[in-house]
Structure 1
């Protein structure tokens, strides 16, 4: 017995020792890839010595004597801190994730191959101007220099993830940067999903009035009624369809409601307390660890520029120079259309056109899969665009038998000059020259907000498709691709795009709201990203005669919900202070407590308050109860509360109160009944998931920002090291937007989409400008810069955005000197 005990003890000790040794070895190998920011290198590909100075926030300040060397330095810095992220973006664009992750990412690769993004990016290289071509090549050389350094010096393969997945790193090419640009366009576009959902909903709700309730038009002049979707086709369509499948964390297309968003506003000197222009910008994207944004400063021949970059792209996308500031927001331009293509009954390799049947353009593409047999795809293109699979975006639910769906999108251009336009904007001397540079921008369409020292402007940039005035669905639903009137006629001249230059009121801004009311087909869009935040923004801008940098910061961080202030009086109109006093613990008493809290609430979505959570749970339960009997399984596609729908129902606009009656029940329920039952259901849900004491609830416990690692974020134990979770204020409809995950699950209110970058630029004192990102500069989980800026971001704090070289050097965490290699 003693002998057995000794052997058990020895084996246990050996196992513990091996585990410790393995952990030490893993840490050693992973820590080898931590970049050293203080060193001197002799490198090929540069023409003169230059320095990369890392300030105390790890922002690289690249001091080069010429543009090519500056972009070389940016490529090197990006690869130092974000090599894994860059390679994942490139693999996603190439449709090559399955080579690393196996069959679980096959659907992503299949979609990206069908869209042909990487081939189109490769073709677009030849369309860039000389300045951009030089920048792309220099940037690629800088990335490749870092890869060479990693290989030659055994620097842990560049990132800990490289050990876990063993994926080889190929050299970076100019086309890779353009592919990342197109991939970002895909992440910022959502009209395809909106079209499909509208078609699916039309099949369930043939009544145009009810369709306008649940998918309402933005306030403004009405439009002509659309045809019922089913009437466009002779072949039968399914009435109901199952909900969409869950998405892999690496999927580049966000779920509906989680696409691009953003805020930007500017003040002219007449509305500035200091007499200089001011610009605030906070682009919204899905949260990840690390953030998609990376702060950098470049010293170019045209002067210094500083702001937010995206690793993989050699350009400052949002930021300022010494003379100009630029910000971007998603414009919601309708630059995508789905077409239903009829197959030739006698030859499935042909599709119908206005002039008869025509063969598809076809090409084979092989997807290699880790630990599995490769898959060969046949890629098919029509005149309208690539043919997609019925499993993508629930297209099978709206595609009749004997038909396929194709996809038109401005970003699918082999001559995409968007990066050249962005390069010109970054190096422009003033607003006018930036607007000229923006003319060659194609996709993703953005609202570009500009300021120089004297002028402010906002211009919608991007190619605007020209549709026929007789288009059957006006681009709002998939349409027959063989009808000439449904096909695109090209794009409008850039002068058609809306612009606002030096407005009389001295204030410009965009919260993804509707910016123009024009008739189809120059309407810009029927779908807009915001009808709520803009209301609060208008109030904050108009209540001050003049603004300052700090007032713009306050607006960026504002957490008051105009939506809550509008909807609560409607849905609680017959519930406030009604009913007899009820004993503690009864449903009636709990309802009274909840209503009393909400009655005294000002609509501020503060993380420490219980009211935002009670309100959000109530609205969610209310919308679900209103729609699920009419929509059936399709109700799960409406994951977020639509304020205009709730308002239409409770104001009974065009008979919308009909939604309150539960079809399957005998009694005729009123909106008051549904509101009361929904509040009770919300309270029950809160008790089951949080606490029975409503007053002790905290919005921040549910509304945690989820900066999750796209690959390792779901791995047990490891996820606690790589994911960054923070209690946050704000919500779906506040200026400090914290878009929730949505749905009915316990994690419905996680904050998954918001301002990964914030910047405020004051041209009366440019070096007092501020910026921050939502995590840290480094993508290395062992780096102290992995999440250091995230703590500031959560508290609503910023770091200086200065072009002063002395300030950058004063507290530098490292200086890398790069010298040309002597031959």
Structure 2
């Protein structure tokens, strides 16, 4: 800022000396400033206007009796009612109070209708969603659901719609005010049960598994032989990283903890050419352009573990969970409690935890008897197929089979409607049709197995378990009502997509694990690891799925604890194929190590474990870095010296962690960017830990050689040396000359961005909706899993979306924390009031009993039946 010189005249003096015309102009400027102040005050009022009433009394049509909504100091609602219908109706009403714009935005996403709100820039996303048909599948699920689930979905929708009927759009969300000012004439449509079901498809997309890996294996093989590509996807090391279930097998279709089994596979890699490569490259780029709200399907994971009473200071189990998802503002979860005043056949719910705005019930948490948590099982439930198309048919085994055709119209704000022609083979929709450039991907894609003619085209289809109607919504509410292991497993049997690892604990002292979900059984020609040739039926799915009773599960293991962190579920002797693209187990191994060291854990020790930020790759790599001698000057030695005394942990204020991660980023760049296409440059996560660990043992591996340098063959130490030098220069440029002034948190910042208006590019709107610049520790492949992508920068790309620890001995001693806050209104104090606590590693008390809820209560809203008149 330029300060005014001391001798400068005052504003009053200038006005006295100024000609009348200038003085009048100054008065006008002052009036404009006053007008701006008034406008800002009006804007503040508009921002505050949608913040809901949380105290007093409101009518809610359809209620049978009064419902209480007690909120604590963080706005977390606990709902009390006399019937399940009233609970669900009130839950819908409360969710709409806090988060309706988010709900509305999500349903536009899942229905492929974003263009109606935001114009032609989002047409591509709408095309992908319409092509996959998420909303259509959600509507088909309705008939499959249990009557009680349909009742819950209907009551929830009635509660949402009652709130909409009571409020104008500008009273529902400030986003509607802003969209109205931009010229959009819009009023939210009534909420429908299918809107709730469709959001489960979005979560399945976020957790879909290895679809991008299928493409990446092909792209990595363009300039590298198969054996070198295989080095980029090392086999899972079960000796170093124990699977979730360490014994058992399938006997007569039923998984038994003490049995064994085995199976074989016959992999076959399809032939590809330049046109197919271009198609896959463009498809991957298109998928990467899908909204962040929907997740990337990779680079994410979760931690959960459960310990029995012998390993708990309370004498009963403790259960911990922290799902890792893409970051957003508001976050994906709402904390909420659903309480029947008296349990009966009409009122069956007594659950508390984390729910999705727009979906009835508690998704993760506990009821009066059991607790449960999720991590991504990551089975291979998606396959891309290269398809041979002839006119209105697709070819398989030399026969022409009619394509399934449908036409949809996308309405576009400020533009002409777009007609979308959607084609499907027996495998699934042709995703490549979304891009005009991919409607024909080459005439020489055929292999000797095809009967290609000159008029044939080639396309890419997607087969995915989520594109068929399932009963996952039944599972959510059944979990809320389960009271023991058998009822928990019965609920899990309906959990079709996304397939999850489910951990369990109950007040009787039992702990358990169940792998649920639809996991396809493939014919032997298709391993699911690369796009398959759709013109050969040998590559098809069989049409059957791994039977639920055959999926791995365990009750009360001898170890006394269960750890799931996306590692392999079970060893290779398991007779069914789940996937080969597991997380490589570094987080799981670290958690097991800490559990074994602690022996007996308290709630506080469980929360501390969730915050562990030790980097498992550092212990392997740092000794090699320290062996590099004579960096040339004290300037470069300063960085290396930080590593000599580093304990391998990554708190936000660590200078050594900053240097190490910049070295790691540069090592990956120097080793792989010159040999791999940009689309598959390393993100630096757990798979790359395994890849580089192997390469470090081979100092002359061809991967170390920089292909851009002629007549020079680089070795491992050449690359390590250059990475150390480049990291020192990079940190000097980014942060400071002195290493003591470096910090990992200044590099590794977490931005929480609003999924729509927060991406507008309009500064004041982004300021209003986003909450950016949080300095955090942790990192990729670490228990405190704040992931980052080494190919893009150091900022956080995914993080724990919440954290919870449940005490089965006393639910009121449990602890939880949300990434943001319960409110979706930027004018609310609860929009992000948990974020700083989250960043600092703090937790909130988790009141469950009526006494604890009342004691913590700040506001009480009574919802009353609407007057019949």
User: What residue number does 1:723 align with?
Assistant: 770
- Which residue of the other structure, out of 400, 406, 411, is the alignment partner of 1:357? 400
Task: Identify the range of structure 1 (15-24 vs 378-387) with the bigger mean alpha-carbon deviation.
Answer: 15-24
> Would the alpha carbon gap of residues 651 and 688 (structure 1) be closer, same or farther in structure 2, given more than 3 Å must change?
same
**Contact 2:216–2:680 (CA under 8 A) maintained in structure 1:** no
Distance in 2 (alpha carbons) for counterparts of 1:309 and 1:540: 29
Are 1:338 and 2:338 an aligned pair?
no
Deviation at residue 240 of structure 1 after TM alignment = 11
Distance in 2 (alpha carbons) for counterparts of 1:410 and 1:249: 20
**Contact 2:292–2:755 (CA under 8 A) maintained in structure 1:** no
- Which residue of the other structure, out of 102, 110, 118, is the alignment partner of 2:127? 110
Deviation at residue 508 of structure 1 after TM alignment = 0.3
> Would the alpha carbon gap of residues 477 and 133 (structure 1) be closer, same or farther in structure 2, given more than 3 Å must change?
same
Deviation at residue 443 of structure 1 after TM alignment = 0.1
User: What residue number does 1:662 align with?
Assistant: 706
1:191-590 equivalence runs, <5 A: 191-205=210-224, 207-220=225-238, 226-230=267-271, 237=277, 244=285, 250-255=291-296, 257-259=298-300, 261-300=301-340, 301-344=347-390, 347=391, 349-354=392-397, 356-389=399-432, 402-414=457-469, 416-453=470-507, 454-468=509-523, 470-472=524-526, 474-490=527-543, 491-518=545-572, 522-569=576-623, 571-572=624-625, 574-575=627-628, 578-579=629-630, 588-590=633-635
User: What residue number does 2:245 align with?
Assistant: none
Distance in 2 (alpha carbons) for counterparts of 1:813 and 1:444: 37
> Would the alpha carbon gap of residues 397 and 227 (structure 1) be closer, same or farther in structure 2, given more than 3 Å must change?
farther
User: What residue number does 1:88 align with?
Assistant: 105
User: What residue number does 1:42 align with?
Assistant: 59
Deviation at residue 234 of structure 1 after TM alignment = 11
Secondary structure at 2:505's aligned position in 1?
A: strand
Deviation at residue 624 of structure 1 after TM alignment = 1.2
Alignment gaps of 5+ in structure 1 = none
User: What residue number does 1:821 align with?
Assistant: 866
Secondary structure at 1:389's aligned position in 2?
A: helix
> Would the alpha carbon gap of residues 679 and 11 (structure 1) be closer, same or farther in structure 2, given more than 3 Å must change?
same
Secondary structure at 2:791's aligned position in 1?
A: coil
1:188-210 per-residue CA deviation (whole Å, 9 max, x = no partner) reads 213211111112212332x2221
Q: TM-score, normalised by structure 2?
A: 0.88
Distance in 2 (alpha carbons) for counterparts of 1:354 and 1:317: 44
Secondary structure at 2:764's aligned position in 1?
A: coil
Task: Identify the range of structure 1 (237-246 vs 73-82) with the bigger mean alpha-carbon deviation.
Answer: 237-246
**Contact 1:200–1:397 (CA under 8 A) maintained in structure 2:** no
Q: TM-score, normalised by structure 1?
A: 0.92
Distance in 2 (alpha carbons) for counterparts of 1:235 and 1:709: 37
1:134-191 per-residue CA deviation (whole Å, 9 max, x = no partner) reads 110111111111111113xxx7331111111134211101100000111111112132
Secondary structure at 1:572's aligned position in 2?
A: helix
1:401-434 per-residue CA deviation (whole Å, 9 max, x = no partner) reads 52111111111113x1001012111210112211
**Contact 1:270–1:546 (CA under 8 A) maintained in structure 2:** yes
> Would the alpha carbon gap of residues 39 and 636 (structure 1) be closer, same or farther in structure 2, given more than 3 Å must change?
same
**Contact 2:320–2:606 (CA under 8 A) maintained in structure 1:** yes
> Would the alpha carbon gap of residues 114 and 197 (structure 1) be closer, same or farther in structure 2, given more than 3 Å must change?
same
Deviation at residue 771 of structure 1 after TM alignment = 0.8
**Contact 1:341–1:352 (CA under 8 A) maintained in structure 2:** yes
Task: Identify the range of structure 1 (249-258 vs 455-464) with the bigger mean alpha-carbon deviation.
Answer: 249-258
User: What residue number does 1:175 align with?
Assistant: 194
**Contact 2:110–2:134 (CA under 8 A) maintained in structure 1:** yes
> Would the alpha carbon gap of residues 608 and 561 (structure 1) be closer, same or farther in structure 2, given more than 3 Å must change?
same
Distance in 2 (alpha carbons) for counterparts of 1:766 and 1:630: 54
User: What residue number does 2:206 align with?
Assistant: 187
- Which residue of the other structure, out of 791, 799, 804, is the alignment partner of 2:844? 799
> Would the alpha carbon gap of residues 368 and 637 (structure 1) be closer, same or farther in structure 2, given more than 3 Å must change?
farther
1:323-355 per-residue CA deviation (whole Å, 9 max, x = no partner) reads 1000000011111111111011xx2x2111246
**Contact 1:292–1:310 (CA under 8 A) maintained in structure 2:** yes
**Contact 2:56–2:860 (CA under 8 A) maintained in structure 1:** yes
Deviation at residue 742 of structure 1 after TM alignment = 3.5
**Contact 1:384–1:407 (CA under 8 A) maintained in structure 2:** yes
> Would the alpha carbon gap of residues 464 and 801 (structure 1) be closer, same or farther in structure 2, given more than 3 Å must change?
same
User: What residue number does 2:672 align with?
Assistant: 627
**Contact 1:271–1:545 (CA under 8 A) maintained in structure 2:** yes
Distance in 1 (alpha carbons) for counterparts of 2:784 and 2:437: 32
Alignment gaps of 5+ in structure 2 = 1-17, 181-185, 240-262, 341-346, 446-456
User: What residue number does 1:159 align with?
Assistant: 173
- Which residue of the other structure, out of 73, 77, 82, is the alignment partner of 1:65? 82
User: What residue number does 2:151 align with?
Assistant: 134
Are 1:608 and 2:653 an aligned pair?
yes
**Contact 1:447–1:461 (CA under 8 A) maintained in structure 2:** yes
**Contact 2:820–2:834 (CA under 8 A) maintained in structure 1:** yes
Distance in 1 (alpha carbons) for counterparts of 2:275 and 2:393: 18
**Contact 1:241–1:633 (CA under 8 A) maintained in structure 2:** no
Distance in 1 (alpha carbons) for counterparts of 2:59 and 2:102: 26
Distance in 1 (alpha carbons) for counterparts of 2:563 and 2:278: 43
1:784-816 per-residue CA deviation (whole Å, 9 max, x = no partner) reads 111111121111111122222122222423211
Secondary structure at 2:79's aligned position in 1?
A: strand
> Would the alpha carbon gap of residues 103 and 636 (structure 1) be closer, same or farther in structure 2, given more than 3 Å must change?
farther
**Contact 2:504–2:512 (CA under 8 A) maintained in structure 1:** yes
**Contact 2:440–2:459 (CA under 8 A) maintained in structure 1:** no
Deviation at residue 3 of structure 1 after TM alignment = 4.5
**Contact 2:292–2:326 (CA under 8 A) maintained in structure 1:** no
Distance in 2 (alpha carbons) for counterparts of 1:405 and 1:770: 47
1:13-67 per-residue CA deviation (whole Å, 9 max, x = no partner) reads 3432332232222222222211110121222211111111111221111000011
Distance in 2 (alpha carbons) for counterparts of 1:26 and 1:234: 55
Deviation at residue 251 of structure 1 after TM alignment = 4.4
User: What residue number does 1:684 align with?
Assistant: 729
Secondary structure at 1:340's aligned position in 2?
A: strand
> Would the alpha carbon gap of residues 530 and 36 (structure 1) be closer, same or farther in structure 2, given more than 3 Å must change?
farther
Distance in 1 (alpha carbons) for counterparts of 2:436 and 2:411: 24
1:372-398 per-residue CA deviation (whole Å, 9 max, x = no partner) reads 111100011111111112667998999
> Would the alpha carbon gap of residues 114 and 33 (structure 1) be closer, same or farther in structure 2, given more than 3 Å must change?
same
Task: Identify the range of structure 1 (753-762 vs 381-390) with the bigger mean alpha-carbon deviation.
Answer: 381-390
